[in-house]
Amino acid sequence: MSYLLLKYIHVLGRVVILGTGTGIAFFMLMAHRSGDIAFIARTAGVVVLAEFVFTATAVIAQPITGFLLLSHAGHGLADFLVMLSIGLYILTGFFMAAGGLDAEMHARSRGAGGRDGHALAGPLLPTV
């Protein structure tokens, strides 16, 4: 695969992560501002689906294309900027996971459940 194609896929993945995250945050903010629990629940369901379909695939593709780009350019994983970017990528993942778990616990503690008594939105990370 050519370097420019890899770079395009890598940048496209980053744009998808940023754009989807921003869009999802906006729609959840608008849903919460409405105060309508049913609307918030429907929005949260769509948000979880969008996170899974768009963001998860881009999050998986980022390290793969990044590693391939490093290989093509002749850089190693031990380069300072590479290590910094990997560290920030992992740190961001922890914040996203913690935010998702916090939202899940908050919804359960408020008793905001669907018809079957479960929280309005499922966890962002799969349970093992």
SS (H, E, C) the chain: CCHHHHHHHHHHHHHHHHHHHHHHHHHHHHHHHHCCHHHHHHHHHHHHHHHHHHHHHHHHHHHHHHHHHHHHHCCCCCCHHHHHHHHHHHHHHHHHHHHHHHHHHHHHHCCCECCCCCECCCCCCCCC
pLDDT at 89: 86
Mean pLDDT of 27-52: 87
Does the pTM surpass 0.75? The reply is no
Query: Confidence band (pLDDT; 50, 70, 90) for 103?
Result: low
